[in-house]
Amino acid sequence: MSMPSKPRKSNARKLLISQLSCGFLALSCAATTPERETCSPSTDIVQVAPGMYVRPGHAAVVFEGDEIANLGFIVGDRCVAIIDTGGSIAEGRALDCAIRGVTGRPVCYVINTHVHPDHLLGNAAFVRPGVEFIGHAKLPRALALRGDLYLERASAHAGHELDASNIVFPERVVAETVELDIGGRVLTLRAHDSAHTDHDLSILDSRTNTAFVGDLVFLEHLPVIDGSINGWIDELEQLSAIPLDYVVPGHGPTSARWPAAMAPTLQYLTELRAKVRAWIAKGGDLASAQATIDAPQKAQWPLVERYHERNVGAAFAELEWED
Ligand SMILES: [Zn+2]
């Protein structure tokens, strides 16, 4: 079930791309996507920092809603780097069109923060010469394991069959850190240890001291554990030491102050871990844990009814083997 869209707070300038015409960029539109003669901007984007834009997502269940995750792009003097592409090729195309409403510079990189389909199934909109796809070193394995399932579920949601071309693997992977120079600004891609997933990638922009942190940070959407609760807490504690100004979370407002932005996610995970550990210590089993352990800060989290029980299960499976 889709959640209603919420108004978002931002001190940044909001660009309603739907009000812009692609006409003044018609040459570059035609040059970059000859298969599409027209560009019909249809999505909102927000400028969160100089040359940095976000397409806001809205909390919903994957394969039930659309435009769920925050997507972004960073404009360099040479070219544009995209961070996540949305839940469908249509979302990717809308993002592509929004980019061409802002700049005539070509897209050179598509960076995926992790495998989840609300972040990655728009990749196919950017398969063209000059665009390189980049992800964590463990992203290819995750895509190989889940690609078919994602196609099946995305096809059901779309109402028509999607073929394998909708799963786009990274051509370049990041095992530790990689720097990308997009012209006058350097992006530092960092591969994280198992946290939200086992292959989270964050992207720090040197010019604005702002990072896209993907689903390492959730706001306005219950955190979902698909990696390691212990690892996620450790990663957030390490990240908190980095003196960033702002981050773009994978879900929630288009930007948020750092490190305050990570506090709700860290608090939920830390309190959940304490509850599950206590349950295991007194001999409780998985089924009773899932039926009984309530969500920390339950009232503040959209989608708690869809994902909290699952989180208890993931945490239990990991923590029951601790010494
Ligand atoms: Zn995710």
The domains of the chain are located at: 14-261
pLDDT, position 140: 98
- Residue 16: pLDDT band by 50, 70, 90 thresholds? very low
Q: What tokens were used for 205?
A: 């922009």
216 CA to centre of ligand 1 in angstroms: 8
C-alpha dihedral, 169 to 175 to 181 to 182, nearest 10°: 30
Calculate mean pLDDT across residues 91-97: 95
Is pLDDT of 20 > 50?
Answer: no
pLDDT, position 322: 87
116 CA to centre of ligand 1 in angstroms: 5
Topology, domain 14-261: Metallo-beta-lactamase; Chain A (3.60.15)
pLDDT tens digit sequence for 258-295: 999 999 999 999 999 999 999 999 999 999 999 999 99
213 CA to centre of ligand 1 in angstroms: 11
d(CA 278, CA 294): 13
3-state secondary structure of 123: helix
pLDDT, position 38: 61
Calculate mean pLDDT across residues 250-256: 97
37 CA to centre of ligand 1 in angstroms: 34
Strand partners, 214: 249
Neighbours of 31 (CB within 10 A): 11
pLDDT, position 29: 36
306 CA to centre of ligand 1 in angstroms: 14
H helix and E strand count, the chain: 8, 14
Calculate mean pLDDT across residues 37-63: 87
Strand partners, 53: 47, 73
3-state secondary structure of 22: coil
117 CA to centre of ligand 1 in angstroms: 8
Sheet holding 186-191, edge to edge: 177-181, 186-191, 201-205, 210-218, 246-251, 256-257
262 CA to centre of ligand 1 in angstroms: 15
114 CA to centre of ligand 1 in angstroms: 7
pLDDT, position 113: 98
pLDDT, position 181: 97
Distances (CA, A) of 299 to 57, 222, 296, 303: 21, 11, 9, 10
244 versus 40: the higher-pLDDT residue is 244
Nearest 5°: CA angle at 234, between 231 and 238? 135
Per DSSP, 60 falls in state B
Is pLDDT of 165 > 90?
Answer: yes
201 CA to centre of ligand 1 in angstroms: 11
User: Is residue 265 a contact partner of residue 217, using CB atoms and an 8 Å limit?
Assistant: yes
Tell me the residue type at 99. I
215 CA to centre of ligand 1 in angstroms: 5
d(CA 40, CA 129): 22
The least confident of 6-20, 125-139, 146-160, 192-206 is 6-20
3-state secondary structure of 132: strand
pLDDT, position 302: 93
81 versus 65: the higher-pLDDT residue is 81
122 CA to centre of ligand 1 in angstroms: 14
User: Is residue 221 a contact partner of residue 215, using CB atoms and an 8 Å limit?
Assistant: no
63 CA to centre of ligand 1 in angstroms: 13
282 CA to centre of ligand 1 in angstroms: 32
Among 298, 240, 291, smallest CA distance to 271 is for 298
Computed over every residue of the chain, the mean pLDDT equals 89
